[in-house]
Chains A and B, each alone.
Chain A
């Protein structure tokens, strides 16, 4: 399976009640029959093989699993796939261009060394991207950026380089 493409990963078998869902994932329509209790994070990773969405705390604190649902950032670990039926979901796999060129936010993370182990990075990027796409004024002071990032935990970097990366991304995107 090509990395980052929706594939037929090993489906999880169980005797649970099932539901048919149709979700648009990164612009591609996918229809699956899944357990009603399957979380969106598990659906993306186990059913579709999109392992860029990471799973940390599974109760909404760490922010690793952040994706976009209908254009807004959301915790995929706090969403049932059943709730995303008919919705449009965007994951980290869709952020870089098809030719591999990095998105300006990814470029800024790279330039500013805003990651070490990288486990929190997909959630960080999806959260920042959604905030940049929201049509409300951006506060790019340290406090303003910390406020945007308050729902994402990083255990490596101490956040300073991530704050710098958000500011650099704003420059690259003409939002500074």
Chain B
């Protein structure tokens, strides 16, 4: 047996799931298991109780309401990725999702699970930070909504309390005139990003940026907004010199030390290049979307 010993519960209601999680300080929620089970197979994680939430009906499905895409805790990556209404409401999601591991992993892994795992190099936490999304947590104490900026605390660490189940993520719909882009650098497609950058740009009639959002994964202890680069681009036409200045500013956000995948210097260079390319691509797409 690869994973260490644990007890297993598969509740049928959310109340039972919340009670099971509260019954044991070392309990873990099991959704798709695509992050938790590798950690357990390596014995990096050893929860004493697994609460399998796949049979809880309230935790399934997705819907779009009030310009938010509401993704329930058991919604698999692939389900969100292929949903036609989601593709229209926020085409950035599918573009990001192509980089989340591989299709068999996305068939099982859940979006909320990836957010709660909170790997600093993972794409979905970056997306939530980029768009100012949120998660909703439930416990016996009630329900609370946590903004993305307050949720991700450190690599593999969120502000979710032990007794809370994150029941849904709320990803904002993308404005119809917003341009968008995401790309990342990896050794092999589907691996965690050495650095990844997402961008959203909105332009006025004269082609000047009225809104610029930039976020990155893989470069710090959690996904980060590149606020200095954003402010340097707002009000500009995103010309070559504007992009160069923003790219240089973005490198200040690279705080991870050298590791086996890349040196910090290389990550700064990749981050700068991605910021330049993604901001330019998002601006070009904004022009296309306005023209349509």
Chain A interface residues (CB < 8 Å from chain B): 12, 14, 16-17, 19, 35-39, 42, 58-60, 63, 66, 69, 72-75, 77-80, 82-83, 85, 127, 130-131, 136, 146-148, 150-151
Query: Which single member of A58, A83, A131, A148 contacts B30 (CB below 8 Å)?
Result: A83
By a CB distance below 8 angstroms, the chain B residues around A60 are: 34, 37-38, 101, 105
Contact B52 A151 (CB under 8 A): no
A78 and B103 form a contact (CB under 8 A): no
Stretch at the interface among B3-11, B207-215, B276-284: B3-11
List 17 additional A-B contacts (Cβ < 8 Å) besides A17-B7, A37-B2, A59-B38: A36-B50, A37-B4, A39-B1, A42-B1, A42-B2, A58-B2, A74-B104, A77-B41, A78-B34, A78-B105, A79-B33, A82-B8, A83-B33, A131-B103, A147-B98, A147-B189, A151-B101
Q: Is the pair B42, A19 in contact by a Cβ cutoff of 8 Å?
A: no
B61 at the interface (CB under 8 A from A): no
The answer, yes or no, to whether B108 is at the interface (CB within 8 Å) is yes
- B residues in contact (CB < 8 Å) with A: 1-8, 10, 30, 33-34, 37-38, 41-42, 50, 52, 54, 78, 82, 98, 101-105, 107-108, 188-190
Which residues of chain B are within 8 angstroms of A130 by Cβ–Cβ distance?
103-104, 107
Which partner residue on chain A sits nearest B37 by CB separation? A78
Contact A66–B1 (Cβ < 8 Å): no
**Residue pair B33, A78 in contact (C-beta under 8 Å):** yes
With A37-B1, A136-B82, A150-B188: A82-B52 Cβ-Cβ less than 8 Å: yes
List the 8 closest A-B pairs by CB distance, nearest first: A151-B102, A59-B38, A36-B8, A73-B104, A72-B107, A150-B189, A78-B37, A37-B3
29 contacts between A and B (CB under 8 A): A14-B1, A17-B5, A17-B6, A17-B8, A35-B1, A36-B8, A36-B50, A37-B1, A37-B3, A38-B1, A39-B2, A39-B37, A58-B41, A72-B78, A74-B104, A75-B104, A75-B105, A78-B105, A79-B37, A79-B108, A80-B3, A80-B50, A83-B30, A83-B52, A150-B188, A150-B190, A151-B101, A151-B105, A151-B190
Which single residue of chain B is at the shortest CB-CB distance from A59? B38
- Contacts A17-B8, A39-B2 hold; do A83 and B102 have CB atoms under 8 A apart? no
Q: How far is the CA of A134 from the CA of B38 in the complex (A)?
A: 26
The answer for the CA separation of A63 and B7 in the assembled complex, in Å, is: 28
- A74, chain B: closest CB distance, angstroms: 5
A74 touches B107 (CB 8 A): yes
Are the C-beta atoms of B7 and A75 separated by less than 8 Å? no
What residues of A have a CB within 8 angstroms of the CB of B78 in the complex? Answer: 72
Q: What residues of chain A lie closer than 8 Å to B3, measured between beta carbons?
A: 37, 39, 80
Contact of A37 among B6, B54, B103 (CB under 8 A): B6
